């Protein structure tokens, strides 16, 4: 059954090959001072930067640039971004890039008019914004995080070796996001695959919790099946628009709060993966893939009916003549097989993690209680060792 | 693949047994003059009226009542509602009831500050609103139409024997809607079942069109499966909260634009059913069920791959050793079997339609071109005769 909840997601989305043109329509809604946020400069090579700048100039905007947002945006970079936005009296933060840029823009948006240190306020003390929030718009160049239609903002602190996500409320969600599947085609295949696994895991994190029959799980299964099918196409043929457009749209709905309505959620793969990410600075999606199977094998006995359902409904495992455990195990084997086919990292050691880091990563892992089993320290260490 | 589209749906939803309490939170956002819109008075018997009035009074609102909204709201009633809202200088139209009340409230909302006749402007000439729109809030007592989170407003004109839906833009969508599955439990079973078929058919109308692989169809299948499963539970046990909550939430997502993004849609069952409804004043969902099977059998050969997919993915038809046509037919037989089990009307004659009405209903049927076959007059008459 569905418990009590509210749903409100007012982000306006423009999707498709022609979607960038709608930026012209959105810009007049905001003041003149725009901070253009982007990453390492790939948008300069693929021409997106020039297109965006042209539209901003045509709309008469004063542009300040905040470049160099890294794949795992740091607290130091966040402080720098706040200074840039303050100095420019920013009316709009326009992020052009993947989830890192969107996440970062949201973290800046709640900090521009705030005197406290943003890491301390939002990531150490987990406070909510109590100052004016600068509007954010996103132009996505990678599918994965769902950051384009949610309030999430993950920031990494290298000093404290922490990678923490703050999920802000609806007032921090992007006002608009532009999703052009063609823009995602210039990514290296490894980045595409990491994004795909990130999407898939977002769905799993919300699916593997609770025992009731609810529409949210049905929708989650639909998204999983679409991602599984289209990932196989996209890995063989990255220019396949059908596959890339489906992956991009599934990514948005995998993490915009829809499939978690009325139910509990897990999120322990993200807690383990983010802790590993803080130690290795590895690509987010790959840290998730590396810890997933040891984690799911550990919790499977505690959520057997859902793992059985996952096997049958998502992977088409034929249940006849098998025990529930056999069926569930076959489902996880199918997941493993798919992960290998699309080429995600299967081990943390591939990402630079070492035996010596295990205790530290375990220390940095936040333990949540929404899933089928609240992990103890011994289980976390065992999962991390099996992931190595 | 997904074509170009935009998505923006800012309706705030409160869902669950405790959801009515959030009305207190919403009311301060609007002015003091509230028009309370409701139907035949069942909300007075089941206590919802008293609860709502108490909250409105507690919030210091001036209340005008606009009661007697009929299951198929008429153009005459709409004109009356506009007068009431004008006289009360309405700041908020609060609809308490099913989709008819929500639809009606939206039609009033675009007409209060408009000098033209609302039927002529929005239903005869299909114009868009160019005047101030009064905000609408909904408290749902029936699951079915999806009106709580979309811009649709169907109005019936008995003079011209027309039942026409105008789908307004995002500015006409309810600002908030309150969805309490318990409120739907006081409905007679026949009304519940009509609502369930309305939901199911909304999904079909968007699903049975196009040939590409897209996430929208995956999500549509997930919603269909949830409705099929939960309808069987609810028909046996109408007090089952799990089933009623899933049905209510599926209804919202079946028609809030999500599952039509990036694809073409059909809507011919609604065109046929609404034409029949204008002649018989029958319950909306029952007119849809009565014409569905003859319509789908007529278009099946033109959209065979999708009807095959429907059979296998939604109804679990085993495809081995069968032709595509056999598989597709088995899917429609499964649909028919389910319809009979839940007890929808299988024939227009059950709803008061007669042989003599056929030509008139055919005349009143708008022909759309988004589905697998653009019907000609002969096909429409044949479908209606088979539905009789």
Q: Which of B11, B182, B219, B239 to mutate to test the interface with A (most CBs of A within 10 A)?
A: B219
Name every residue whose Cβ is closer than 8 Å to that of residue A282 and which is 6 or more positions away in sequence: A276, A345, A351, A352, A353
Do the domain assignments include residue B372? yes
Of B10, B17, B218, the CB nearest to A226: B218
For residue A117, tell me if it sits in a domain.
Answer: yes
Same domain, B163 and B40: yes
pLDDT score, position A225:
98
Rounded Cα–Cα distance for residues B297 and B293 (Å) = 6
With a cut of 90, say whether residue B41 has pLDDT above it.
no
Give the minimum alpha-carbon distance from B220 to chain A in angstroms, rounded to a whole number: 9
Task: Pick the last residue of a domain from B150, B183, B216.
Answer: B183
Q: Which residue has the tokens 């199918």?
A: A334
Report the CATH number that the domain containing residue B81 is assigned in CATH: 3.40.50.1970
The answer, yes or no, to whether residue A1 has pLDDT greater than 90, is no
CATH number of the domain bearing residue B226 = 1.20.1090.10
Q: Residues of chain A with pLDDT > 70: what percent?
A: 100
- Chain B residues within an 8 Å CB radius of A13: 6-8
**Strand-pair partners of A6:** B14
In a domain, A154, yes or no: yes
How many whole angstroms separate alpha carbon A149 and alpha carbon A175? 9
Q: Are B91 and B122 members of one domain? A: yes
Q: Is residue A98 part of a domain?
A: yes
* Together in a domain, A257 and A368: yes
Q: For residue B357, what are the contacts with CB-CB under 8 A and spacing of at least 6?
A: B276, B279, B280
CB-based contacts of B83, cutoff 8 Å, min separation 6: none
State whether A15 and B1 contact (CB < 8 Å).
Answer: no
Write the pLDDT tens digit of every residue in B122-171: 999 999 999 999 999 999 999 999 999 999 999 999 999 898 999 999 99
Nearest to A106 by CA among A231, A1, A11, A243: A11
- Among B114, B148, B183, the domain boundary falls at B183
Q: How many CB atoms lie within 10 A of CB A229?
A: 15
pLDDT tens, position by position, B93-110: 999 999 999 999 999 999
The answer to the question of residue B55 being in a domain is yes
- Residue B171 in tokens: 């500015």
> Best residue in A169, A224, A233, A245 to probe B by mutation, most B CBs within 10 Å?
A245
In A, residues 119-148, which contact B (CB 8 Å cutoff)? Answer: none
Question: CA-to-CA distance for B23 and B11, rounded, in angstroms?
Answer: 14
Nearest CA in chain B to A21: B4
3-state class (DSSP) for residue B339: helix
Same domain as A247, residue A112: no
What is the 8-class DSSP label of residue A198?
H
Nearest one of A336, A147, A114, A388 to A228, comparing CA atoms: A336
Return the pLDDT at B281.
Answer: 87
- pLDDT for B268 beyond 90: yes
What does the DSSP 8-state code read for residue B366? P
Residue B235: how many CB atoms within 10 A of its CB?
17
Q: What is the dihedral of CA B130, B134, B139, B142, to 10 degrees?
A: -30
**In this structure, what DSSP letter does residue B313 have?**
I
pLDDT digits (tens, 9 = 90+) for B275-311: 999 899 899 999 999 999 999 999 999 999 999 999 9
Say how far residue B122 (Cα) sits from the centre of its chain: 18
- Residue B273: inside a domain: yes
Kindly state whether residue A7 falls inside one of the protein's structural domains.
no
Q: Is the pLDDT of residue A289 over 90?
A: yes
What share of chain B in percent tops pLDDT 90? 97
**A241 touches B: beta carbon within 8 Å:** yes
User: Is the domain of B240 the same as that of B159?
Assistant: no
- pLDDT average, residue stretch B78-88: 98
Which stretches of chain B are assigned E, i.e. beta strand?
5-7, 12-15, 33-38, 62-66, 92-97, 136-140, 152-157, 162-167, 176-179
Interface of B with A in 184-223 (CB under 8 A): 212-215, 218-219, 221-223
Secondary structure (3-state) at A30: coil
The predicted pLDDT at position A118 comes to 97
pLDDT of B99: 95
Which residues form the domain of B271? 189-387
Average pLDDT over residues B166-180: 97
H, E, C per residue of A56-107: HHHCCCEEEEECCCCCCCEHHHHHHHHHHHHHCCCCEEEEEECHHHHHHHHH
Closest CA to B222 of B206, B198, B242: B206
Contact A7 B18 (CB under 8 A): no
The reported pLDDT for the residue numbered B1 is: 81
Collect all residues of chain A within an 8 Å Cβ-Cβ radius of residue B8.
Answer: 10-13
| pLDDT the model gives residue B267 | 97
E runs forming strands in B270-362: none
Angle at alpha carbon of residue A188, lines to A183 and A192, rounded to 5°: 70
| Residue A180 C-alpha, separation from nearest chain B C-alpha, in angstroms | 9
Are B345 and B205 contained in the same domain? Answer: yes
Average pLDDT over residues B195-223: 97
CB A156 within 8 A of CB A75: yes
Residues A137 and A211 in one domain: no
pTM for this predicted structure: 0.96
pLDDT at A41 (0 to 100): 86
Give the side-chain half-sphere CA count within 13 A for B39.
24
Which residues of chain A form beta strands (DSSP E)? 5-7, 12-15, 33-38, 62-66, 92-97, 136-140, 152-157, 162-167, 176-179
Which residues lie across from B292 on neighbouring strands?
Answer: none
- When pLDDT is averaged across residues A102-129 and rounded to a whole number, the result is 97
CB contact under 8 A, B223 and A246: no
| Mean pLDDT, range B57-74, rounded to an integer | 97
A138 and A206 part of one domain? no
- Residues of chain B with Cβ-Cβ distance to A12 below 8 Å are 6-8
Q: How far apart are CA A284 and CA A277, in angstroms?
A: 7
In chain A, % of residues over pLDDT 90? 97
Domain count, chain B: 2
**Closest residue in A to B176 (Cα–Cα):** A8
> In the Cβ-directed half-sphere of A146, how many Cα atoms lie within 13 Å?
24
Q: Could you tell me if B338 and B331 are in contact, meaning their C-beta atoms sit under 8 angstroms apart?
A: no
With an 8 Å Cβ cutoff, is B177 touching chain A?
no
Q: What ipTM was assigned to the predicted interfaces of this complex?
A: 0.96
pLDDT over 90 (residue A281):
no
Best residue of B23, B246, B253, B309 to probe chain A, by most A CBs closer than 10 Å: B246
pLDDT of residue A265: 97
In this complex, do A253 and B215 lie within 8 Å of one another by their Cβ atoms? yes
**Does A83 score more than 90 pLDDT?**
yes
Nearest CB partner across the interface for A215, out of B8, B17, B250: B250
pLDDT for the residue A74: 97
Binary contact (B6, A17; C-beta < 8 A): no
As a whole number of Å, the CA-based R_g of chain B is 20
CA distance B232 to A14: 38
**Whole-number Å distance between alpha carbons of B154 and B163:** 7
pLDDT in tens, A122-174: 999 999 999 999 999 999 999 999 999 999 999 999 999 898 999 999 999 99
Q: Nearest CA to CA, how far is A75 from chain B (Å)? A: 32
Do B239 and B331 have their domain in common? yes
- Give A268→chain B minimum CA distance, Å: 26
Whether residues A57 and A149 fall in one domain: yes
Phi, psi at A63, each rounded to 5°: -105, 130
Structure tokens at B367: 């022909």
Res A248 pLDDT > 90: yes
Residue ending a domain, choose from B157, B183, B209: B183
Whether residue A152 is found in the same domain as residue A227: no
């Amino acid at each position: 059954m569905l418990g009590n909840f509210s749903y409100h997601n007012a982000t306006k989305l423009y999707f498709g090959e022609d979607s960038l043109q709608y930026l012209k329509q959105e810009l007049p809604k905001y003041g003149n001072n725009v901070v253009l946020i982007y990453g390492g400069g790939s948008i300069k090579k693929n021409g997106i930067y020039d297109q965006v700048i042209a539209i901003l100039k045509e709309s008469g905007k004063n542009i300040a640039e905040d470049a160099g947002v890294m794949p795992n945006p740091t607290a130091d970079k966040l402080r720098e971004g706040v200074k840039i936005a303050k100095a420019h009296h920013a009316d709009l933060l326009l992020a052009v890039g993947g989830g890192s840029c969107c996440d970062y823009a949201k973290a800046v948006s709640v900090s521009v008019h705030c005197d406290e240190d943003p890491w301390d306020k939002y990531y150490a003390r987990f406070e909510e914004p109590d100052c004016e929030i600068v509007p954010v718009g996103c132009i996505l160049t990678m599918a994965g995080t769902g950051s384009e239609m949610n309030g999430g903002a993950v920031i990494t602190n290298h000093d404290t070796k922490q990678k923490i996500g703050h999920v802000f409320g609806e007032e921090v969600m992007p006002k608009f996001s532009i999703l052009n599947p063609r823009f995602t085609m210039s990514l290296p295949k490894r980045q595409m695959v990491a994004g795909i696994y990130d999407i898939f895991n977002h769905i799993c994190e919300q699916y593997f919790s609770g025992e009731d029959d609810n529409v949210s799980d049905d929708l989650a299964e639909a998204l999983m099946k679409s991602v599984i099918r289209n990932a196989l196409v996209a890995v063989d043929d990255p220019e396949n628009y059908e596959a890339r457009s489906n992956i991009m749209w599934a990514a948005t709905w995998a993490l915009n709060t829809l499939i978690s309505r009325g139910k509990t959620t897990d999120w322990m793969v993200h807690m383990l993966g983010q802790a590993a990410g803080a130690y290795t600075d590895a690509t987010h999606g790959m840290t998730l893939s590396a810890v997933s199977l040891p984690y799911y094998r550990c919790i499977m006995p505690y959520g057997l009916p859902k793992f059985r359902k996952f096997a049958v409904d998502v992977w088409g495992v034929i249940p006849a003549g098998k025990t529930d455990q056999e069926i569930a195990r076959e489902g996880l084997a199918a997941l493993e097989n798919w992960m290998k086919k699309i080429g995600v990292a299967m081990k943390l050691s591939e990402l630079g993690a070492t035996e010596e880091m295990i205790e530290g990563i375990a220390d940095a892992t936040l333990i949540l209680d929404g899933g089928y089993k609240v992990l103890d320290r011994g289980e976390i260490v065992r999962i991390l060792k099996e992931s190595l």
